[in-house]
């Protein structure tokens, strides 16, 4: 609800938002997040409290709403909450996606279709845009094929909006197929503030309840990190150039560093139980959060975010020390490296050596390195230096069979 609560909501809209969840505990949590943004609290009895299944839930909701006043938030929430779109470059070419879809359509069996798509997607470090993802998955006729393909290629997809997900669900007549498709994409949705709209794809109350259960498990997919899992190390850019201002498609202006902090928090707070993580910061003195990977307990998440939120953007791009420590000393299996400039730490290896050593670690231990270049806004970099950074980040992803994303 982080984006959603910048608006004012009617009780009807709040009822729709909290109704997506299958239990009263989750409904109460979201009601707490939204209750001070209600513009017509006098309507809460019929449109909000009735969404709770138990008498205890109804009583707690009634207490929460007892003394609220109409909010003064500027601007009522639209039916579809706008989601910031980013300018990803160096993604797949549309023509290559069309050619891949032609190959899939020519295949005679589901197994062949999935194999063709999987081989193509995993052979490149470039990711698919949301529109390209929609085109690709519309080429598959069986909902079970969507689940199989989504599971093996999720980190190759930037994600899907709820509107695009609805377009895929509309392909299927049977509710069971729609539910299978929804399961396939539950970890690919990038605008979960609108996930309640997906209930419109189901007509019977029993099917809507099944869809609610699936949607209650949805975790937001970060525009920078996707939805990581496993034993993860984050290499976080805190260099001075991260203070460069950027403007999102929603009109919001902030710095690269503020946007990174927002996406990092979103990623950590939505870890699955299987995640183990650590992180290091470069730019100024390098700092490693812990001396081993940690589970996503509430205390660990709070501690990790508190330390990072205290950091300011300052210093140079001394990537190597933090990067080396997470791989060699913490022994993470997956690295997410985000930067807006080439490594310029004193005594650090040149890009070619950096890449060569990374490839050795991948060949020896299977280390994967997903890279993200934040080049939005004008920080004074020349086109040549940007091109060198893009080449460096792509090479790191290529030699570890991982992904790279460039935002400009």
Work out the number of other CB atoms within 10 angstroms of the CB of residue 234: 25
The encoded tokens of residue 354 equal 């950096």
Q: How far apart are CA 212 and CA 201, in angstroms?
A: 12
Q: How far apart are CA 201 and CA 166, in angstroms?
A: 7
Q: Print pLDDT tens along the chain (408 aa).
A: 444 445 567 787 788 777 766 677 778 877 877 777 777 777 766 778 888 888 888 888 888 888 777 775 555 545 566 677 788 999 999 999 999 999 999 999 989 999 999 999 999 999 999 899 989 988 988 888 888 888 888 889 888 888 899 998 988 889 999 998 888 888 888 887 788 788 889 988 889 888 888 887 777 788 899 888 999 999 999 999 999 999 988 788 999 999 999 999 989 988 888 899 999 999 878 899 999 999 999 999 999 999 999 999 998 888 999 999 999 999 999 999 999 998 887 778 999 999 999 999 999 999 999 999 999 888 888 888 899 999 999 999 999 999 999 998
Burial 127-153, CB ≥16 within 10 A → b, else e: bbbbebbbbbbebbeebebbbbbbeeb
Contact 338, 224 (CB under 8 A): yes
pLDDT attached to residue 70: 75
Among candidates 279, 232, 282, which has minimal Cα distance to 257? 282
Contact 372, 267 (CB under 8 A): no
pLDDT attached to residue 333: 96
Contact 283, 314 (CB under 8 A): yes
């Amino acid at each position: 609800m982080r984006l959603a609560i910048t608006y004012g909501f009617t009780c009807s809209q709040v009822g729709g938002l909290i109704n997506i969840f299958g239990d009263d505990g989750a409904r109460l949590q979201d009601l707490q997040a939204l209750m001070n943004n209600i513009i017509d609290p006098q309507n809460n009895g019929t449109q909000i409290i009735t969404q709770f299944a138990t008498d205890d839930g109804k009583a707690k909701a009634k207490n929460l709403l007892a003394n609220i006043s109409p909010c003064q938030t500027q601007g009522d929430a639209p039916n579809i909450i706008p989601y910031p779109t980013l300018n990803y470059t160096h993604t797949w070419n549309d023509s290559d996606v069309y050619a891949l879809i032609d190959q899939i359509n020519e295949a005679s069996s589901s197994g062949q279709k999935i194999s063709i798509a999987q081989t193509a997607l995993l052979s490149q470090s470039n990711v698919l845009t949301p529109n390209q993802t929609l085109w690709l998955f519309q080429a598959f006729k069986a909902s079970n094929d969507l689940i199989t393909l989504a599971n093996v290629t999720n980190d190759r997809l930037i994600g899907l909006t709820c509107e695009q997900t609805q377009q895929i669900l509309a392909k299927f007549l049977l509710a069971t197929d729609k539910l299978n498709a929804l399961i396939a994409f539950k970890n690919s949705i990038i605008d979960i503030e609108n996930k309640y709209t997906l209930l419109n794809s189901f007509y019977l109350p029993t099917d809507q309840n099944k869809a609610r259960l699936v949607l209650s498990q949805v975790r937001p997919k970060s525009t920078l990190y996707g939805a990581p899992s496993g034993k993860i190390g984050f290499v976080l850019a805190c260099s001075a150039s991260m203070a460069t201002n950027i403007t999102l498609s929603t009109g919001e202006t902030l710095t690269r560093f503020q946007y990174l902090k927002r996406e990092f928090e979103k990623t950590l707070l939505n870890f699955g139980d299987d995640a183990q993580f650590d992180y290091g910061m470069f730019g100024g003195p390098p700092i490693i959060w812990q001396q081993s990977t940690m589970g996503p307990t509430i205390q660990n998440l709070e501690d990790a975010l508190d330390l990072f939120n205290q950091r300011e953007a300052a210093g140079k791009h001394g990537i190597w020390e933090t990067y080396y420590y997470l791989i060699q000393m913490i022994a993470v299996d997956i690295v997410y490296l985000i930067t807006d400039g080439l490594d310029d730490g004193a005594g650090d290896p040149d890009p070619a050596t950096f890449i060569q050593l990374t490839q050795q670690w991948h060949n020896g231990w299977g280390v994967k390195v997903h890279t993200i270049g934040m080049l939005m806004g004008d920080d004074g970099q020349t086109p040549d230096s940007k091109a060198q950074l893009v080449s460096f980040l792509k090479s790191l992803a290529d030699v570890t069979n991982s992904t790279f994303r460039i935002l400009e």
